[in-house]
Amino acid sequence: MNSPSAAAVLTARQIAVSFVAAVSAVGLTAPLASAEPHTAPAEAVARQAPQAPLAAEGIPFTDANVTQRTDGSFTVSWKAPAAGSVTVYVGDRVVAHGGNEATVTVRGLPAADRQWFRLVPDRGDPLTLADRSLHLESAPNFRDAGGYRTTDGRWVKMGVLYRSNGLHDLSDADLAKLQRLGIRVDLDLRMPGERAKSPDRVPAGARYVSADVLGGDVQGDLPPTAEESARMMAESYGVYVSKPSALDAYRSLFHLADDAGSAPLVFHCEGGKDRTGWGNAALLTALGVDRDTVMRDYLASNDYLAERNAAVLASQTPEMAARLKPILDTRATYLNRAFDEVKTRFGTFDAYLRDGLGLNKQDLERLRETLLVD
């Protein structure tokens, strides 16, 4: 049985620190397109742009997604029941076409920092999307917070708000990519000790802002069992909702997010899943995204961090790995604990926004105006 390397143990401790500190602080597959082949080479389908939609009927898409594959191709899927057909553009080029519910694969696009797709229905307004991940090797959980539909039919804009794991390990190439994408604000939710030990690599031209969720450096030990680790992780999410320093930090996040001059904005903690996870869940909920979608976005950190987490666990003894895994995971029970704390402490989510974060009606209207498209 191999002993964990010093580097692996350090990584494990860094990932675990937010959860332990929080607890210590309080004691506690869609159908294929019918109109075009599933695989649509970009050069093979270029054509003139269609006329503008016949009528302004809002965005008719009830679901849409873009995923970049490892071979450089893109899968674009959508559902638009009120439309007859949808044409997909990259820039002014048509790259795919399908019915009101379709999945197409687009190949042969030129290299770009981020590829944007404009889905134009024959009736209603278009929707612009990109792959949520920025595919940063040194920050695998750096992803767009947008691209989700709200319960009233609007969509959270993409390219405006990003969530991430720590930016201290950014490679030169990834840092340059963020600079080209024009990141304006880097909001760091970590403790002072975390920030001092592993300072962010801030994109040139971006403003750095710290908003410590936990309110100072707090030490703690890794729990003795996996069950205890999971229990304490869940309890830490209650801290994110109720602790005064957390309320201050998330208030800062909301106020930066509702300021169009701060976009594009990235906010992060260490792993980009706990302190960041609740922040993004709160934002999406405030924007009107349904709970199931909020949960899927939260749990997606397991996928984005899978390779990194697997390497950490493989470097540990089986006993240590079992204790550590609940800390590396995102789990529905954790996020549900935060929403339960909202209900217990404030009664409703609207009251959390109003009484906990101090957001008034005008603040929320400005947030939705900044982050939603309809």
- Active-site option among 94, 247, 269, 287: 269
Instruction: Measure CA 295 to chain center.
Output: 11
**Dist. CA 312–CA 307, nearest whole Å:** 9
Instruction: Measure CA 229 to chain center.
Output: 24
Catalytic-residue membership of 3? no
> How many Å from the N-terminal Cα to the C-terminal Cα in the chain?
57
Q: Are 267 and 96 in contact (CB under 8 A)?
A: no
CB crowding 17-33: b at 16 or more within 10 Å, else e: bbbbbbbbbeeeeeebb
10 Å CB burial of residue 123 (0-12, 13-18, 19+) is middle
For the chain, how are helix, strand and coil distributed in percent, rounded to 5?
40, 20, 40
Cis check: omega of the bond before 264, within 30 degrees of 0 = yes
Residues identified as active-site: 269
